[in-house]
Amino acid sequence: MDRIRIVGGNELKGVIPISGAKNAALPLMIASLLTSDTLTLENVPHLADVELLLRILGNHGVDVSVNGRREHQDGSYARTIHFTCRTVADTTAPYELVSKMRASFWVIGPLLAREGKARVSLPGGCAIGTRPVDLFIEGLQALGAEMEIDGGYINATAPKDGLIGATYNFPKVSVGATHVMMMAASLARGTTVIGNAAREPEVVDLANCLNAMGAKISGAGTSTITIEGVPSLSGARHRVLPDRIETGTYAMAVAMTGGDVTLQGTDASLLDTALEAIRRAGAEVTETPGGIRVVGYGSEIRPVDIVTEPFPGFPTDLQAQFMGLMTRANGVSHVTETIFENRFMHVQELARLGAKITLSGQTARIEGTRRLRGAPVMATDLRASVSLVIAGLAAEGETMVSRVYHLDRGFERLEEKLTRCGAVVERISD
């Protein structure tokens, strides 16, 4: 099992290209099930989650063609992938695949809309809370689907003439359920109105792609999305938007270690709230042509309180990284998690590096310290693992992060990107 070795103390200086967003790429890939034509996606990141979803889509009959990699001077790359599902080969998404990644459950929407039926295993993924599927079930039921849970699977059946447009208000904001509802409603008869919809940029990206395929979706990016169903969708070509979580992660790494890094190929508007929190912590963050420049001062980090919220609030996927930054602040800060009930598992690992963190319910109190010291630590989920990398970059001595397969799920060539900016980071394969 691979590990990542980090020797802290170096400032980061240079350019880091930002990859395509994993959280956008996954629903876009799943949208290929909605059409018999070819959907071409540009800027698809090379990640473990993407590779797993390719296997899952192949199980359903999607043919995949990958263009040759496009080289960049920094060594990272993005891919252009063509997805073609002439016919759906299987409407069952098996446990052995779906249990490994929660987003693969989303195939239930396109399968139900296109084939009128789906049998999908209940999902798995990171252990950061229960994340029930009731919102998905209720949303699809509003479109006329019959849903039954049997033996760990959800059996879904559409009415004889297909799904029917309806008005449905989510009782709680859910990005995944909004994705699924939009895809399913695109092929439903009549008009669907989704209330309390997720407003995340990845939702807008999916809507833009679906519209390019011939869907009629308006309101994406607001809390009310309207979908006028169409009989069929065609192929399209779409570029995956930049990864705002990767952008924020590297910005926090620069703020914590000091240095001067340009994050290339990203968009500040995707994470205004997070960038403002980084500015309040003492780093300089400025927009540049085609990117963002971050200048950090390391020892002059100011304490900042944040609360995670749905977009446009502070992203839960940057909570662990920001907590890592606050471990070096000159004072006390507070981080409150409101999205997932079990997303503080990184706290005990940060403590191994010398962080002073106490928990009270869903709020962490972080007393900043001048010195962190390297230690062996263990990644517990995707975002927690990269918070340990950030802390290790600022710690004295050597930090060894184990279970880095979590990192490979969401960060493309992380060690290469950091090394090219002066960090001492290497992957060790046992």
Where in the sequence numbering do the catalytic residues fall?
A: 126
Tokens standing for 150? 């049997």
What does each C-alpha distance from 198 to 111, 240, 339, 378 come to in angstroms? 22, 18, 13, 32
Q: Tell me if 20 sits within 8 A of 45, measured CB to CB.
A: yes
Sequence length of the chain is 430
Q: Tell me if 2 sits within 8 A of 413, measured CB to CB.
A: no
State which H helix or E strand residue 246 sits in.
helix 244-257
Cα 101 to Cα 337: distance, rounded to the nearest angstrom: 22
- The helix-helix angle for 244-257 and 319-326 (nearest 10°) equals 10
* Partners of 295 in beta bridges: 260, 284
List Cβ<8 Å contacts ≥24 apart for 136-140: 136/105, 136/108, 136/174, 136/176, 136/177, 136/180, 138/168, 139/168, 139/170, 139/177, 139/180, 139/181, 139/184, 139/194, 140/108, 140/109, 140/112, 140/180, 140/181, 140/184
